[in-house]
Chain A
């Protein structure tokens, strides 16, 4: 996936994004990091095809169809009238697959996020973290090549978020998919990503790109001096990005 000189101007004349170049290779975990208003969500919406860029273009290597993309929003975005199983069924259902046909894959996706026994629960019966897991299961059920995540854990408490981060990394290792992750948390981005794209606001643009070398991402890494140093470097990049705006 690559973005070449992508810009987006909204109807009100606000430039949300200007001249954004981004290349994401298969299997990479890339974070878009920046303060609110830096166009990171706009970038994600452009990649998802929910908006068309005003300038430049978003292009894909190889063929690209709706099943290749999984999306997780900031809110769980579940249908309250449907059970967990039927919520996860949605992407398959829209492709015309019946529930009995899809059930093994739904069960597998729920198993992966640790909600195997909640297939028949309604979303309101679940906690915030569990709803988010359902949302992730729904994104995984089509076995997409690319998953887009828009601050998925921002509304969760820190304990749940750390757990979700670990689970997300484990899932990524298992599935080998590409992830583009939008966040405003330095710590989260360093912990999760291979590469961090620091963005600056007004107009939204890419300020810096940093790679995060890490041998193993686990509790040990989270408390290591190496991790702290990398967080500091990313924080510095972030304040440079916002400072010169």
Chain B
């Protein structure tokens, strides 16, 4: 009997180990396969590099043009992160104000929705007419895109308080402020973190779109500007290299925010708990 159980248990363990390895190996293999196919298509069809460069050439360009692309990456990352920070402050701040005052919510929520549903590409040219400072303009554009998921998720979270806990706070004579700090904000944390992950990606999109609209003006230019510029010069490999960097930034932002979320919730929230099987 024990013998039989043991073989079953080993088989289970083996499957679990295979899955652990597979989780990393499978995506890695797929990416490598995709790169190889891309490379082969370029080589076999003799596609010239100004139409479609192979992955090798893109990698070379990445290294060769690092002096240009590196600082550009930094500029874009900086704009996206500053926009995200302002979006967190603005989104959480507004959500708290809305939850404290029904009147404020009724008055200002429509504005937030209008800002959200109007495409940033359409607003951006206006912003760059009225805002002198280029960085401020970029920030404003990225903020408009990024703040709404934080606002709406945090609002939802602040309202999703356990009824009985709210009653308990009432019985113990908690002030409005105590209820907010000790009950509503912790309840809203998982919702906020969900919104933050969406907003992280959106802030990058906002920064890139804004740069496109802002165009070629002056110094301190980011990745999107480098793509535009390389496009005018038909420097297709550099366009691909810059694109790869933007994608990498997006993945990096997502990974960091996921890690933050995991660290904040690992002790108590269902989403971060491992289940013993």
Q: Which residues of A contact B (CB under 8 A)?
A: 45, 48-50, 65-66, 69, 71, 73, 75, 77, 79-82, 90-91, 93-95, 122-124
Contacts and interface: CB of A to CB of B under 8 A. Distances in A.
Given A71-B171, A81-B186, A90-B172, A122 B267 contact: yes
B162 interface: yes
A80 B171 contact: no
B267 A81 contact: yes
A94 B186 contact: no
Contact of B174 (A69, A71, A77, A94): A94
Contacts of A77: 162, 164-165, 168
21 contacts: A45-B167, A48-B167, A48-B171, A49-B171, A71-B168, A73-B164, A77-B162, A77-B164, A77-B165, A77-B168, A79-B165, A79-B183, A81-B189, A81-B267, A81-B269, A90-B168, A90-B172, A93-B182, A94-B169, A94-B178, A95-B173
A69 B173 CA distance: 11
B186 A66 contact: no
Given A73-B164, A80-B269, 19 more contacts: A50-B167, A50-B170, A66-B171, A71-B167, A71-B168, A77-B164, A77-B165, A77-B168, A79-B183, A79-B186, A81-B269, A93-B182, A94-B169, A94-B172, A94-B174, A94-B178, A95-B173, A122-B267, A124-B268
A66 B162 CA distance: 20
Interface of B: 162, 164-165, 167-174, 178, 182-183, 186, 189, 267-269, 273
Majority SS at the chain B contact face = helix
Nearest to B178: A94
A61 to B, nearest CB: 19
Contacts of B174: 94
A81 B268 contact: yes
A115 B260 CA distance: 32
A122 B268 contact: yes
Nearest to A75: B164
A91 B171 CA distance: 9
Q: Top 7 closest A-B pairs, CB basis?
A: A66-B173, A77-B164, A80-B268, A81-B186, A94-B172, A94-B174, A91-B172
A84 to B, nearest CB: 12
